Amino acid sequence: MSSGFDFDHEVNREGTHSVKYDGRQSTFGKSDVIPVWVADMDFAAPPAVTRALAERAAHPIYGYTLFPDSLYEALLGWMQRRHGWTIQRDWIVMCPGVVPSINAAVMAFTQLGESVIIQPPVYFPFFSAVTQTGRKLIQNPLHLENGRYTIDFDHLEQCARDAHLLLLCSPHNPVGRVWHPAELERLLRSQQI
């Protein structure tokens, strides 16, 4: 399947205040390391995105902005076409990023002092979203079996006895797993979680 996009064109990001490239010296004490330590894009944005941003940036005032109907329509259409899901507009809550969303979920679905399960190794904000919001951290470490990470369901069920929430990372960062439908169905079937 061809996307019509050139994934072979390299873009030099050095000198652009890039955390991934320009932050190597401050992070590692040297700048000649391969920057695979942060999930940051190395491909140019699609031309349509660049054009839309340039058009918006051409207006001289950058005030508060509403989410246009076209954004909701695009999301509703994508969910229907891609996943066969019919969702309602009022189910959608716009968030400024992944990390604020993780924190919001922890605060929305648990109370102070309640327990939240995470599955390390996992994106480090999962830890702080639990500990910095006054919740108790429960770890259900993933198992490395034959070069592939798996969920320890027996241990997860033990953890779930004292937990109020599981933060599931999928696709999992940093192990790269997209959980199979059977794994997700097992999570849903569990009476404990």
In terms of residue numbers, what domain contains 50? 11-65
The answer on 177 and 108 residing in a single domain is yes
The answer on 83 and 28 residing in a single domain is no
Please give the pLDDT value at position 163: 95
Q: Which two tokens stand for residue 88?
A: 């309602």
What is the pLDDT of the chain when averaged over all its residues?
92
pLDDT tens-digit profile, the chain (193 residues): 456 777 888 899 999 999 999 999 999 999 999 988 887 888 899 899 999 999 999 999 999 989 999 999 999 999 999 999 999 999 999 998 999 999 999 999 999 999 999 999 999 999 999 999 999 999 999 999 999 999 999 999 999 999 999 999 999 999 989 999 999 999 988 755 5
The answer on 74 and 22 residing in a single domain is no
Rg (CA), the chain: 20
Please state the pTM of the whole predicted model: 0.77
The 10s digit of each residue's pLDDT in 79-101 is: 999 999 999 999 999 998 999 99
The 10s digit of each residue's pLDDT in 130-163 is: 999 999 999 999 999 999 999 999 999 999 999 9
Chosen domain end from 53, 77, 95: 95
Task: Provide the domain count of the chain.
Answer: 3
The answer on 160 and 146 residing in a single domain is yes
